[in-house]
Amino acid sequence: MQDFKQLVATIEQVHSHLQAKAANAVNQALTIRNWLIGYYIVEFEQYGEDRASYGAELVSKLAKSIAIKGLTAPELSRCRQFYHCYPQIIGSVPQEFSNIIPEQILGTLSQESKLLQVPPEKIVSKLSFSHLIELIKIDNPLKRTFYEVECIRGTWSVRELRRQISSLYYERSGLSAKPEKLAEMVNKNTSPQVPTDIIKNIYAFEFLDLKTRDLVEESDLESALLDHLQEFIIELGNGFCFEARQKRILIGSTYYFIDLLFYHRILKCHVLLELKIGAFEHGDIGQLNTYLNYFREEISEASDNPPVGILLVAEKDHALVKYATAGMDENLFVKQYLIKLPSTDQLQHYVEKELKALQ
């Protein structure tokens, strides 16, 4: 190959092609795994010899018993729902797994697969599991199929799929005199999905046992400041025990990430720290308070004290430090928080100094 431009173009083409194949392979394996998990759960619920001893607690007990990253109780419930919504996936299950599915189940799935549905190979190869999570929220089978078809045809990203569902595209299409014109306009204004969109999602990262922290898009400034802030608070002592960076929590059907999470062994409570590069907005407190309520209800042990949140908001060289204690009991322990946690002056001075050094 003598032409340099041709060499560059060929290497880029090879990379793009094989990257797409790799992304698709991971996506298909993940989708089939989750369908099979859903099937196994339902099959146990229906035929398991000791199913009665687990009852409604089956998914919770299962999540505590298996050591597989990401398979929490809510995710196992989603796998079960996925199995119920997409019986036709059986057509894409590898033979070594389909062979162990009882004949009566196969017969039922075969009958259900005769309904108006997108072929299983299209579902598995063209839609990521993140797409399917959005689709299983739709109860109406015809509406779900409509979005499957449009998503595959338009190569929509997950974000675009959510946007079109929220915009009532299905309903608008039904009311439109010329739905094909509406479809043309919709797809003209969408950005097609690329292979990295398939791989770079929470489910794929956990399936491949990668760090989901790498998924969170941060500016270099935020990332550097959080690195230093983590070290700074640990060095303060005062009982801080570091738990996680970019701690992922699931509230409803949406994932959120907490910048830094500590447990304070003296105060016996979780300490949540959120950092925002930019001016303070009232919604910032609301978001942190939501996290605190979640921790209070879902994470804290009975012997723990209420969690505390620290919001660091910076604009240029100025750092505004606010403690989000809304909703906590008005007792003396709030004062103890303020004594044991870093003082406002300490944090403000530190953030101002670090911002100057990083800019």
Q: Which helix (H) or strand (E) holds 240?
A: strand 240-251
Q: How far apart are CA 48 and CA 59, in angstroms?
A: 14
Q: How far apart are CA 195 and CA 211, in angstroms?
A: 19
Q: What percent of the chain has pLDDT over 70?
A: 79
**What DSSP letter does each residue of 242-261 carry, written as one string?**
EEEEEEEEEETTEEEEEEEE
Residue pLDDT, tens place only, 338-347: 777 777 777 7
The answer on pLDDT for 263 being more than 80 is yes
The answer on pLDDT for 160 being more than 80 is yes
Please tell me what DSSP assigns to residue 264: E
Position 16 scores a pLDDT of 83
Band of residue 136 on the pLDDT scale cut at 50, 70, 90: very high
Residue pLDDT, tens place only, 326-338: 555 555 666 677 7
| Residue from 115, 321, 138, 354 nearest 226 by CA | 354
Round the average pLDDT of the chain to a whole number and report it.
80
Band of residue 225 on the pLDDT scale cut at 50, 70, 90: confident
Q: How far apart are CA 59 and CA 77, in angstroms?
A: 7
Look at 108 and 353; give whichever has higher pLDDT. Answer: 353
Span 109-130, mean pLDDT?
78
The answer on pLDDT for 211 being more than 70 is no
Position 270 scores a pLDDT of 92
Position 20 scores a pLDDT of 80
Position 198 scores a pLDDT of 64
The answer on pLDDT for 138 being more than 90 is yes
Q: How far apart are CA 261 and CA 249, in angstroms?
A: 11
Position 317 scores a pLDDT of 46
Q: What is the torsion angle, in degrees rounded to the nearest 10, for the CA atoms of residue 40, residue 46, residue 50 and residue 54?
A: 80
Residue pLDDT, tens place only, 73-117: 888 999 999 999 998 888 888 877 777 676 656 556 655 555 578
Q: How many helices (H) and strands (E) does the chain have?
A: 17, 5
Span 141-147, mean pLDDT?
92
Residue pLDDT, tens place only, 291-324: 999 999 888 888 998 898 888 776 654 555 555 5
Buried b (16+ CB within 10 A) or exposed e, 32-64: bbbbbbbbbbbbeeeeeeeeeeeeeebbeebbe
Position 157 scores a pLDDT of 87
Q: What percent of the chain has pLDDT over 90?
A: 18
Position 310 scores a pLDDT of 84
Look at 88 and 276; give whichever has higher pLDDT. Answer: 88
Cα 9 to the chain's mean position, in Å? 35
Phi, psi angles (nearest 5°) of residue 291: -60, -40
Residue pLDDT, tens place only, 161-208: 988 998 899 998 888 877 778 887 877 777 677 766 666 677 777 777
Q: How many CB atoms within 10 Å of residue 149?
A: 13
Whether the CB-CB separation of 324 and 338 falls below 8 Å is answered with: no
Structure tokens at 347: 């944090």
Q: Is 178 helix (H, G, I), strand (E, B) or coil?
A: coil
Q: How far apart are CA 10 and CA 18, in angstroms?
A: 12
Locus of tokens 């298909």: 28
Angle between helices 4-47 and 73-85 (to 10 degrees): 90
Domains in the chain (CATH in brackets) are: 4-202 (no CATH), 216-358 (3.40.1350.10)
Look at 215 and 7; give whichever has higher pLDDT. Answer: 7
Locus of tokens 């998503």: 151
Residue pLDDT, tens place only, 40-78: 999 888 877 777 777 778 888 898 888 888 888 888 999
